[in-house]
A = this chain, B = another copy of it.
């Protein structure tokens, strides 16, 4: 049974039990399900306003620990609403059970007064830790790191370190990577639990640890952290502040979430959709409108250039109305080839496959590929062209096709690099943007060629 099917079954069973008010059956179902799955089902149920209270009631039947775990998987708006429903006592106990990074995220959703009130009721160390984790800007390493790691003071023996691991095990996000710190809290080295387990109990961790540690700065971009974890196959990466002090770690599972989020963002950018906070399903109608309209309207104005181009060649068009048949086809072809080139480039840059020094070489190759594409498409369109509009127009269309595809491809290939140089995200070189530029060029190429080859009746 696929993940999808089993989830739908669980969802349906839960809904049936819910509507029939079968409390025992409900509790049994929730017991069996995993936190991530409960969260998804609850999110679905909560979409209907009238079921929200039921969701809150359901969660309240679970243990604080389990509730804390599930809440971490819920979308932000639901987390916020849930927190607002809870008393300070309940919220405090839930926060305490959450992992440090998720706790800071939830905390940041609360309003100022509530945050102040909660902080006052926390122990000093807990308060400091939370304030610190909650203070980093979204999108940075600091905002996704956790403080639940195993720090081993420099100078410990293997058996002392082992004891420390056992003590920390219940709370740490991972116990499989140990971080050795000096008296100032600076990261001296790392040691895997695997290495620790096969070492002589009396040996010093300092003699065993790896000193050439891969680490990230607390202000590094989260996508760079994810890339680094993927590149070096790491379980977790240590996060250092400006003084090289260890302030947190980021684990592989959070890196995977970031990578997925970034890929989604890049795909959306590729069609000029702005960043959605939740997914498509949870976004409000207005958010969807807002994130899609900006570029669409800009592109309307950009397209005025194509219109102006056409207006300039009005006489040619009047003389050879059949030219218009091929207009959408030709401009689309340039846009399509250009979008392909842009997407290949943008994704290549995002994954690190393409680096800026490869640019000239790739551009050179693209000329040849585009020439091949253009010639093939010209052949295809001239078959149609001869049949519909005669040899002369077919020739114009075929020649235009070759040029338009080459120009479109080169625009698609160059634009991401220019944007990158200007310090913009290359993913802004979206299909609609490339299409608009390719369109205007296409119109000019097509009608200029037509005017030159066919001539004007009066000319």
Q: How far is the CB of A31 from chain B (nearest CB, A)?
A: 11
Q: How far is the CB of A250 from chain B (nearest CB, A)?
A: 13
Interface check A436, CB cutoff 8 A: yes
Interface check A23, CB cutoff 8 A: no
Q: A297 contacts B380, CB within 8 Å?
A: yes
Contacts of A214 in B (CB 8 A): 34
Contacts of A443 in B (CB 8 A): 328
Which of the residues B212, B255, B292, B321 comes within 8 Å of A317, measured between beta carbons? Answer: B321
Q: How far is the CB of A393 from chain B (nearest CB, A)?
A: 12
Query: Considering the complex, which residues of chain A in the window 289-347 have a beta carbon less than 8 Å from any beta carbon of chain B?
Result: 289, 292-293, 296-297, 299-301, 303-304, 306-308, 310-311, 314, 317-318, 321-322, 324-329, 331-333, 335-337, 339-340, 342-345, 347
Contacts of A289 in B (CB 8 A): 369, 372-373
Q: How far is the CB of A384 from chain B (nearest CB, A)?
A: 6
Q: B348 contacts A227, CB within 8 Å?
A: no
Contacts of A445 in B (CB 8 A): none
Contacts of A211 in B (CB 8 A): none
Q: How would residues 250 to 276 of chain A score, 1 for a CB under 8 Å from any chain B CB and 0 otherwise?
A: 001101110110011011101111000
Which of A83-91, A110-118, A152-160, A191-199 faces chain B? A191-199
Q: How would residues 388 to 429 of chain A score, 1 for a CB under 8 Å from any chain B CB and 0 otherwise?
A: 100000000000000000000000000000000000000000
- Name the residue of chain B whose CB is nearest to the CB of A173: B233
Q: B373 contacts A165, CB within 8 Å?
A: no
Which of the residues B266, B285, B292, B326 comes within 8 Å of A340, measured between beta carbons? Answer: B292
Which of the residues B264, B285, B307, B365 comes within 8 Å of A325, measured between beta carbons? Answer: B307
- Name the residue of chain B whose CB is nearest to the CB of A434: B271
Contacts of A345 in B (CB 8 A): 280
Q: B328 contacts A197, CB within 8 Å?
A: no
Which of the residues B257, B267, B271, B321 comes within 8 Å of A266, measured between beta carbons? Answer: B267
Q: B328 contacts A331, CB within 8 Å?
A: yes
A303–B447 Cα gap in the complex (Å)? 19
Q: How far is the CB of A15 from chain B (nearest CB, A)?
A: 12
Copies of this chain present = 2
Q: B281 contacts A354, CB within 8 Å?
A: yes
Interface check A288, CB cutoff 8 A: yes
Q: A176 contacts B197, CB within 8 Å?
A: no
Task: Classify chain A: how many residues form its interface, as a range.
Answer: 35 or more
Contacts of A326 in B (CB 8 A): 307
Which of the residues B197, B235, B435, B439 comes within 8 Å of A165, measured between beta carbons? Answer: B197
Contacts of A376 in B (CB 8 A): 293, 296-297
Q: B310 contacts A324, CB within 8 Å?
A: yes
Q: A332 contacts B435, CB within 8 Å?
A: yes
Contacts of A229 in B (CB 8 A): 256
Q: B193 contacts A293, CB within 8 Å?
A: no
Contacts of A348 in B (CB 8 A): 279-281
The winner among A308, A326, A342 for most chain B CB atoms within 10 A is A326
Which of the residues B176, B230, B280, B432 comes within 8 Å of A354, measured between beta carbons? Answer: B280
Interface check A63, CB cutoff 8 A: no
Q: How far is the CB of A300 from chain B (nearest CB, A)?
A: 5
Q: How far is the CB of A413 from chain B (nearest CB, A)?
A: 10
Q: B271 contacts A339, CB within 8 Å?
A: yes
Which of the residues B259, B281, B331 comes within 8 Å of A353, measured between beta carbons? Answer: B281
Q: B280 contacts A432, CB within 8 Å?
A: no
Q: B327 contacts A327, CB within 8 Å?
A: yes
Contacts of A198 in B (CB 8 A): 166, 169-170
Known: A281-B348, A297-B377, A301-B384. 4 other contacts (CB 8 A): A267-B343, A280-B345, A293-B377, A300-B329
Some 10 contacts from A to B, beta carbons below 8 A apart, are: A255-B256, A256-B256, A267-B343, A271-B339, A285-B368, A289-B369, A296-B373, A301-B384, A308-B325, A332-B335
Chain A interface (Cβ within 8 Å of chain B)?
2-4, 7-8, 32, 34, 36, 165-166, 169-170, 175-176, 193-194, 197-198, 212, 214, 224, 227-235, 252-253, 255-257, 259-260, 263-264, 266-268, 270-273, 279-281, 285, 288-289, 292-293, 296-297, 299-301, 303-304, 306-308, 310-311, 314, 317-318, 321-322, 324-329, 331-333, 335-337, 339-340, 342-345, 347-348, 351-355, 357-358, 362, 365, 368-369, 372-373, 376-377, 380-381, 384, 388, 431-432, 435-436, 439, 443
